[in-house]
Each structure stands twice: as C-alpha cells, then as structure tokens.
Copies of this chain bind each other. A is one copy, B any other.
C-alpha cells in the first residue's frame, strides 16, 4: 500500500480563471465550495454536504466539474473518495481570490 491515488486534475499552472469562475457560478457547486472551506476532506455522500435533495450521480457530476477546473482534489482510498480544496494551489495561482470568495459567499446568502 504505497500511497493513495488521486483522480486526474489540472496542474497548478494550467488552472484557468474563467473555467474556475464558470465552475463556481452554480449554486450547488458554491455550496460544495463552502463545505470544503474548512480545509478538511469530505466524502461524496450528498447527505454529508447538505444536498440530500440531489441524486448522488448529480453530486458526482458537480464534483467532477470542480476537480477538472482545478478547485478540488480527490484522493481515492478503498471504496471512498475524499475531496478537499486545493487552497495552496489556488492561492499561488490567483492570490487573494479564494479568500475574497469565501468571505463574500456567506455574506451573500445572509
């Protein structure tokens, strides 16, 4: 058991701003971003993400969009996948953007 695999994701230098904004320009994926903002790893279960109303395949689709945009990373461990924010990579590529988004998002829904 060397180390867990990761699902394919763009290199930090290849993260595209418009693609990231497009990925976050959806209420479900913004909800996911806020869930991931704690820096921890999260499973893909809709009930763990406040998305009980969505089918698991729909959630899987949204997580794929976030991962392919470079927003999240997915670690494969057995039959579970653990998703987390690529905070370091995003901060390096777009300094201040993630902080501004995370500060703005709760205010927007309040």
* A63-107 at interface with B (beta carbon < 8 Å): 93-97, 99-101, 103-105, 107
Chain A interface (Cβ < 8 Å from any Cβ of B): 16-19, 21-27, 30, 93-97, 99-101, 103-105, 107-108
Once A18-B25, A26-B18 are accepted as A-B contacts, the answer to whether A96 and B103 lie under 8 Å apart by CB is: yes
Interface of A is mostly: helix
Report B-chain residues with C-beta under 8 Å of the C-beta of A30.
17-18, 21
Given contacts A21-B22, A93-B107, could you give 15 more A-B pairs where the C-beta distance is less than 8 Å? Answer: A16-B108, A17-B101, A17-B108, A18-B26, A18-B30, A21-B30, A22-B22, A22-B25, A22-B26, A93-B104, A95-B100, A95-B103, A97-B97, A97-B100, A99-B100
